[in-house]
Amino acid sequence: MSSKDDPVSSILGWDDTAVRMDEIRALEKRVVELKQKLVVSAASLPSDQASDELTFLIMRVGQRKIAVPVQNVDEVAQMPAVTPLQDSVSAILGLVDYHGRMLAVIDLAGLLGEGKGTVTIDKTLAVFSLDPHKFAVMIDEPTDVVTVTRRAMQVSNEVLPGAIRATGVLSLPGGESLLVFDVGSIALATELIGVIDSLEDR
């Protein structure tokens, strides 16, 4: 007897559940595919270079090393003075003057569960582009820029404290593995766009 002929299955809604589970699995597969495209497109080298290569900036934040696609990185510089914001979001340390433009600075250590960061001169400022906006994060230090093949990237579904989503896991020569973050997820985790919009309205 098929489930369609089984009154118990119909009463309990098992038929609907099976269909919905199939739909969920299809959506999860699509999400993974889209995340892979996102991280690959952000880290791909210009078209005149090898299309199989992806380039990442490796950064140390507290005891953790992470990677971000280089195409999202404008500059890495010595930590400047930070002006605190009134009614600041906890993850936003304040503002810095970046070539005459005020940028919000995110406490990346806090978002990664590494403890609240403290602005000191030995820290480093990484400036990111999130078209059409720019923002900065405070890190401990940049450690490397690496170029790898697409085979070194695997999709990740890990969500860390602060709801930052890792888009992939990067396998480096020597066996080290690092989480790769989508810069947009960092901004979303801090409600940064609202802060940027309020700055631009001033």
- pLDDT band (50, 70, 90) for residue 193: low
pLDDT at 88: 60
pLDDT at 123: 92
- pLDDT band (50, 70, 90) for residue 115: confident
Whether the predicted pLDDT of 126 surpasses 90? yes
| Residues 43-92: tens digit of each pLDDT | 444 544 445 788 899 999 988 899 998 888 999 988 898 988 776 667 88
Residues 6+ apart with CB under 8 A from 104: 85, 92, 94, 95, 135, 136, 192, 195, 196, 199
| CATH 3.40.50.720 is right for the domain spanning 53-200 | no
* pTM score, whole prediction: 0.67
